[in-house]
Structure 1
Amino acid sequence: MRLWLRASAMLLALVGAPLALAQDRPPEHTTGWPEMISGDSGVEGLESGPELQRGRTPQAMLADQRRLTAALAALQPERKGVVDAYVVSIALDSDPVFAREARESARVLARRYDAEGRTLVFAGPDGRGGRTLPVGSISTLTLALARIAEVMDRNQDVLVLYLTSHGAPDAGLAYHDGDQGFGILSPARFAAILDGLGIRNRLLLLSACYSGAFVPRLMSDTTAILTAASASRSSFGCRAENDWTFFGDALVNHALRKAQPLADAAAEARQTIIGWERAGRLDPSMPQVTIGDAVATWLAPLETRMPKAATAPVGAPATDALKP
């Protein structure tokens, strides 16, 4: 079962990938969360989306800032008269399954939605020697969205966001990078960022426990949102050794590789996940799919340009964890 964090004065620690000195290995979660709220504010104290960095070396901070600056500078502007997709794929946790999922999801979504030169990937080391990328964080995501808002035509173009991490009940998505980065991205904060930037056309794919909590705050007539679980359920497959979560494997690694409409891909993925959970005797995660009435205005042009040939799934199946 995917780990979850309960919001309190001291959030519980997450257990992650093995500690290793090699630069291409993910950092380990070894300590508890720092105190990020105080008094009796409870969950409400997390609505603003607190983020904390501690103990990261100046050299590492500078190197990552340079990678981020280069990635944002390379983002291509929109094309006049063309509905362009801007893809962001981000892992907010240093457990390497999220890095692997974010990296491959970026490739699948960029191909599907004709987003070469308009794709950003933020993920820590994947433990498999993948190239060094800007690390995912709440600040990184916010800056990336601000840059996309600058270069896109907000009346025409589309944000395609794939976000993979752990989830916190009654709080949001958990940002946890080893022992150095911590935070919560709440539904209220995420909605404020998108709305404040004027990004109205959006396909949001959220792979995390309890991610259904984002649907009421992010939904609009021009938004399609797919989540790995309902607001009250865990999702599965986030073991550090995995290549995919259940949601990522079913939706991205299988359904979205095919030239089928988004609604059909979502239905296929949902049925696949239900089958896997039944086979593993797991409590249903209840993935959520909500597509706004005006989504077709931007989705239809994108799907017209989809590649006709499917690509083959990659990586070990997420269900390998269910094998005895």
Structure 2
Amino acid sequence: MSHTAPPPPGMARSTDYETIQQANGGTQIERDRPAIHSLAEHRRLARALATLAPQRKGVVDAYVLSIALDSDAVFGREAREAARVLARRYDAAGRTITLAGSDGSAPSPLPMGSPQNFEAALARIAEVMDPAEDVLVLYTTSHGAPFGIVYHDGNDGWGAMSPTRLSRLFDAHGIHRRLLIISACYSGVFVPVLSGPQTAIFSAASSDRSSFGCMAENDWTFFGDAMINRALRKPQPLGLAAAEAVALIGQWEQQASLKPSLPQQSIGVDVAAWLAPLEARTPKAATTPVGRPSLDSLAQIQR
């Protein structure tokens, strides 16, 4: 779904301070949505939340939440496949929610990726998980800004979520065991705020750098292709997968003469307590990457 209309005046004319406050509040503005859309969206979200399986006592369960916050099809495609890869890797069948717009082939049957739907999905996960035992695995893909990640659905939806907003939500739900993977420009801004003893967090770029590959026609962003489509498909430890992804991204950026995005990461000192049981159940065989390699977009960048 293309973006051709300007944002609502309340957002377009915001000062930097006001923009940050909007992102801290998880602001979402919908414009000209018909009532039938709202009803259909309510039903899609209710179905997705109702299918979430409860946790298993004595088992470290992963709950995967994959969200595309922008309606450009590259993000819808990436969020869908990220959900599949992460659910397989972390034994999360029945414990996975995908929030995303169209993948470019047809209207999306999924709940949309919006701040409100994200918060509802997070609240539902908190209801069924045991926060002392289980783990949230979050993947977000979207455009980003120095204040956080941006929600943009065609000409109808706008909003943003900041690191402060996510931190408040996690704290409110008592979710401290978490694997967070943030694919967006400037996403390094999330790392210092969300890092903690029980948190592993990976970002596509530093807080002052762009990431690449987000053209609407792509199947993957650079970060999504390297981290999800390649590194995390393999039966290797999380740290090695992240190192492989960072090296791949560096190679691609050097080949295209792009300013390095400098992906960031933090792995807390207590992460091993939940990561080891999850990785013990990782499938022993790798799966094959899907879609067009993000490297194919280099020719477009260089024109």
TM-score with structure 1 length normalisation?
A: 0.89
Contact map agreement 2:20 2:162 (CA 8 A) in 1: no
Q: How far did residue 130 of structure 1 move?
A: 7.5
**Structure 1 counterpart of 2:251, one-letter code:** G
Deviation at 1:316, TM superposition (A): 0.1
The structure 1 residue matched to 2:64, chosen from 87, 107, 125, is 87
Query: By how many angstroms is 1:41 displaced?
Result: 3.6
For residues 6 and 106 of structure 2, what CA distance do their matches in structure 1 show? 28
Name the residue aligned to 2:4: 30
- The code of the aligned residue for 2:236 comes to Q
**2:213 counterpart SS class:** coil
Residue number in structure 2 paired with 1:136: 113
Could you say what secondary structure the match of 1:69 adopts? helix
Say what the alpha-carbon RMSD is for the aligned residues.
1.3
Say yes or no: does 1:242 pair with 2:222: no
Runs of 4+ in 1 over 4 A off after TM superposition: 37-40
Question: Which of 21, 33, 46 is matched with 1:45 structurally?
Answer: 21
How many residues end up aligned between the 2 structures? 297
How far, CA to CA, are the matches of 1:318 and 1:308 in structure 2?
Answer: 26
Q: State the Cα distance separating 1:33 from its structure 2 match.
A: 1.4
Which moves more between the two structures, 47-56 or 222-231? 47-56
Conservation of the 8 A alpha-carbon contact between 2:205 and 2:211: yes
Q: Which amino acid aligns with 2:3?
A: H
Q: State the distance in 2 between where 1:41 and 1:85 align.
A: 36
Aligned residue type for 1:191: S
2:40 aligned partner, one-letter code: A
Q: Distance in 2 between matches of 1:85 and 1:129?
A: 30
Structure 1 position 43, deviation (Å) = 4.2
Residue in structure 1 matched with residue 249 of structure 2 by the alignment: 273
- TM-superposed deviation, 1:129: 3.6
Question: In structure 2, how many angstroms separate the alpha carbons of the residues matched to 1:132 and 1:265?
Answer: 31
**Equivalent residue, structure 2, for 1:103:** 80
- Aligned equivalents of 2:17, 2:87: Cα separation in 1: 41
Residues 133/297 of structure 1: CA separation in 2 closer, same or farther (3 Å cut): same
What secondary structure does 1:323 align onto?
helix
In 2, the alpha carbon distance for the partners of 1:49 and 1:182 equals 11
Identity among equivalent pairs (%): 60
Greater helix content: 2
1:64, distance to aligned residue in structure 2 (A): 1.1
AA matched with 2:235: A
8 Å Cα contact 2:205-2:262 kept in structure 1: yes
Amino acid at match of 1:255: A
**1:46-68 deviation digits (Å, cap 9, x = unpaired):** 32221111111111111111010
2:54 matches 1:113: no
Match of 1:303 among 258, 261, 279: 279
Mapped partners of 1:92, 1:284: distance in 2: 24
Q: Which runs of 5+ in 1 are unaligned?
A: 1-26
Provide closer, same or farther for how the CA distance between residues 278 and 38 of structure 1 changes in structure 2, counting only shifts above 3 A: closer
Alignment of 1:179-258 (within 5 A): 179-258=155-234
CA offset digits 1:106-143 (Å, max 9, x no partner): 00000000000000001111112486111110000000
- Name 1:78's counterpart in structure 2: 55
